[in-house]
Structure 1
Amino acid sequence: MSSPRPAKIAALSILSNSFVFLMKLIVGVISGSVAVISEAIHTSLDLMASIIAFFSVRISSKPPDREHPYGHGKFENVAGTIETLLIFVAGIWIIYESVQKIFEPAPIKMPMIAVAAMLLGATINFVVGRKVQHVGEEYRSVAMSSNALHLLTDVYASIGVAVSLVIVSLTNFYILDPLIGIGIALYIMKEAYDLGKKSFLPLLDTRLSKEEEERVHQIISAYKDEYIEYHDFRSRRSGSEEYIDFHLVVPSHMNVETAHDLCDRIEKDIKKVLHSPKIFIHIEPEHERLLYHPSKKSERGKKE
């Protein structure tokens, strides 16, 4: 069964986050719990993340145009970076409010209603978050994966708040409420740091992972009996797409049709191991390599 389109799942997360945000905000204001209000703020950022993801997957899926000849894939990385910054802002705000509450502790009204709201919100976000995570992994969407992280992080935070509210209601240890708030803030900021590296680095045209590159090298080497060598291998990621290019040195007597067929077969096999690769192979006759690069050695794949 094919997975739903990313935009539809992103729209679903917008609806679920809107409901959970309003529920937490209302219950937080009524109960006076800084942890619940912090969770409402956290969920509001999840809502913004869902909106960003919705528009980013729509834009990044557009085909290349005159102004963007390499496509729109990096819009997802920009969106993921923005989401990361939003998480840090939320974390700082939660810590500030929690510290204020430590010095001015106050009883929580109707804590069991707040507990029920937290558990309901956690259940909704877990179900939707898993769907978003599945689509993000299938489509290699940075924005969708970022959105899933927001949702699943909210699940853990909501459960933590629910447990703390139960303890507070049983012990009247009101300082626990802001302490849990600070714990939530530190947790989501740590997750934001990990997410930030994943989202931001592709904007600098960093290469694919070692495992991905190794799979590509193995595929190219499988055809080593049909070429002389290959060199100048490069890779980078843009959103959900991978870009690969290299020079393939072929025997001087090989005609254009044969060389083209060889490239087609290599590209076809690479597309089986990567999600959405864009592959550019520069064919280089052996005599040209000797003429212009007499001392050049191949990066990989030189025939023994």
Structure 2
Amino acid sequence: MILSFGISLLLMGIKFLAYHLTQSQAVLTDALESIINVMASGFAFYSVSLAAQPKDQNHPYGHGKIEFFSAGFEGALIIAAGIFMLVQGIQHLQAPPELQALPVGSGLLAFATLANAVLGYWLVREGKQMGSPTVSADGRHLLVDSLSSVVLLVGLGAILWTGWYWLDQVFTFLLLGVIFYNGYRLVRESVAGLMDEADDTTLQQLRDALQAARRSTWIDVHNMRVQKYGADLHIDCHLTLPYYLDLKTAHDEGKRFEEVLIGASSHRVEVFVHSDPCVYQCCPYCHVKNCAVRKHPQTVDIPWTIENLYRNEKHFSEMDAPVAYVRDDVTR
């Protein structure tokens, strides 16, 4: 993030130099957004530093949520800058400035665009590896900024080719559309993280690991919830085990279950497992061999899916038809 901040500062200077040479409103729009890049990189550095701090008494789940706030802050800055650029663009419709030195300005902008794209791609890759929403958001912002700069370069080329200087205003408003969309997307992702919106991609990854390591004593898994705290995951769920297991055996089964979930992610994972005793409605899909208390034969094989992992109910039992699930707190 220190590298991102330094490069963003340098590229901002290059873009403003390009505007000084060309007097293009579209180039100014791109340069103004670079101010947001610098501010966002600075705040992102602070956020990542804070998120890396260990848990404490005031923050028992750690400080990772600051990363979602950082992404939302960056999106809000982008939208605010877009509104300012929109006002400036409308004002220049009445008195458009005279364009000049377009070849030199285009060359400077092309260099800044390439540097932004390389930096953005690297940040997105690093952010995914670390599971950091802040680093990924900063990288995606730079990639979108690079895309908008490509559009701008096309516009400057069109102006040089045709001599139609009014195209500068057209590409200004096209860039504003990209800027507003990027800002909205970052705010949307930030709110989703802060509100603990379900992440089906992460849950599918955990489900695949559990299905591959499934043991016969793990009768079903339900009420699984996954919360993200920056790069850290907090998982809690209910695991149905044979009711006759002694406390130590049940604890060992739960420990094996936790190890599968921890091994399914490359990030730090905290797991809380609530052990449920089986009920007779579980018999039709229970795979425990030679069960001395079985009341019904095993007749169905229920694969674990996102749907039945989410629900706060034991899995389907044909003994309960047409009721598809058995709640933990109700015997039916």
TM-score normalised by length of structure 1: 0.85
**Offset of 1:252 from its aligned partner?**
3.6
Q: Return the alpha-carbon distance in structure 2 between the equivalents of residues 230 and 273 of structure 1.
A: 16
Partner SS for 1:200: helix
Partner SS for 1:26: helix
Task: From the superposition, tell whether residues 35 and 55 of structure 1 become closer, same or farther in structure 2 (CA, over 3 Å).
Answer: same
1:17 is aligned to: 8
Q: Return the alpha-carbon distance in structure 1 between the equivalents of residues 140 and 259 of structure 2.
A: 33
| Greater Rg by CA | 2
Q: How many residues are treated as equivalent by the alignment?
A: 287
1:266 is aligned to: 257
**Offset of 1:219 from its aligned partner?**
4.3
The residue identity in structure 2 corresponding to 1:146 is: A
The 8 Å contact of residues 233 and 299 in structure 1, kept in 2 or not, is answered as: no
Q: Return the alpha-carbon distance in structure 2 between the equivalents of residues 158 and 214 of structure 1.
A: 37
**Offset of 1:301 from its aligned partner?**
8.2
Task: From the superposition, tell whether residues 215 and 33 of structure 1 become closer, same or farther in structure 2 (CA, over 3 Å).
Answer: closer
The 8 Å contact of residues 61 and 229 in structure 2, kept in 1 or not, is answered as: no
The 8 Å contact of residues 55 and 62 in structure 2, kept in 1 or not, is answered as: yes
1:53 is aligned to: 44
Task: State the structure with bigger RCO (CA 8 A, min sep 6), 1 or 2.
Answer: 1
1:62 is aligned to: 53
The 8 Å contact of residues 64 and 229 in structure 2, kept in 1 or not, is answered as: yes
**Offset of 1:122 from its aligned partner?**
0.6
The residue identity in structure 1 corresponding to 2:149 is: S
**Offset of 1:148 from its aligned partner?**
0.6
Match of 1:113 among 71, 80, 104: 104
Q: Return the alpha-carbon distance in structure 1 between the equivalents of residues 59 and 317 of structure 2.
A: 36
Q: Return the alpha-carbon distance in structure 1 between the equivalents of residues 155 and 273 of structure 2.
A: 58
Match of 2:203 among 207, 213, 218: 213
Task: From the superposition, tell whether residues 284 and 92 of structure 1 become closer, same or farther in structure 2 (CA, over 3 Å).
Answer: same
Post-superposition Cα deviations, 1:22-41, rounded to whole Å, max 9, x if no partner, equal: 11112213321111111111
1:5 is aligned to: none
Q: Return the alpha-carbon distance in structure 2 between the equivalents of residues 95 and 54 of structure 1.
A: 29
The 8 Å contact of residues 52 and 79 in structure 1, kept in 2 or not, is answered as: yes
Match of 1:281 among 273, 287, 297: 273
Match of 1:194 among 185, 193, 201: 185
TM-score normalised by length of structure 2: 0.79
Post-superposition Cα deviations, 1:99-127, rounded to whole Å, max 9, x if no partner, equal: 22222122212111110111010111111
Which stretch shifts more, 155-164 or 228-237? 228-237
What stretches of structure 2 of length at least 5 have no aligned partner? Answer: 280-311, 320-332
2:288 is aligned to: none
Q: Return the alpha-carbon distance in structure 1 between the equivalents of residues 168 and 209 of structure 2.
A: 56
Task: From the superposition, tell whether residues 143 and 302 of structure 1 become closer, same or farther in structure 2 (CA, over 3 Å).
Answer: farther
Q: Return the alpha-carbon distance in structure 2 between the equivalents of residues 135 and 141 of structure 1.
A: 8
The 8 Å contact of residues 18 and 106 in structure 2, kept in 1 or not, is answered as: no
Q: Return the alpha-carbon distance in structure 2 between the equivalents of residues 303 and 257 of structure 1.
A: 31
Which stretch shifts more, 12-21 or 264-273? 264-273
Task: From the superposition, tell whether residues 299 and 203 of structure 1 become closer, same or farther in structure 2 (CA, over 3 Å).
Answer: farther
Task: From the superposition, tell whether residues 34 and 63 of structure 1 become closer, same or farther in structure 2 (CA, over 3 Å).
Answer: same
**Offset of 1:257 from its aligned partner?**
2.9
The residue identity in structure 2 corresponding to 1:216 is: L
Task: From the superposition, tell whether residues 114 and 81 of structure 1 become closer, same or farther in structure 2 (CA, over 3 Å).
Answer: same
**Offset of 1:96 from its aligned partner?**
1.7
Which stretch shifts more, 242-251 or 143-152? 242-251
Q: Return the alpha-carbon distance in structure 1 between the equivalents of residues 121 and 204 of structure 2.
A: 30
2:24 is aligned to: 33
Partner SS for 2:233: strand
The 8 Å contact of residues 14 and 109 in structure 2, kept in 1 or not, is answered as: no
What stretches of structure 1 of length at least 5 have no aligned partner? Answer: 1-9, 288-296
Task: From the superposition, tell whether residues 14 and 72 of structure 1 become closer, same or farther in structure 2 (CA, over 3 Å).
Answer: same
Q: Return the alpha-carbon distance in structure 2 between the equivalents of residues 20 and 160 of structure 1.
A: 17
1:298 is the counterpart of 2:313 = yes
2:166 is aligned to: 175
Task: From the superposition, tell whether residues 215 and 112 of structure 1 become closer, same or farther in structure 2 (CA, over 3 Å).
Answer: closer
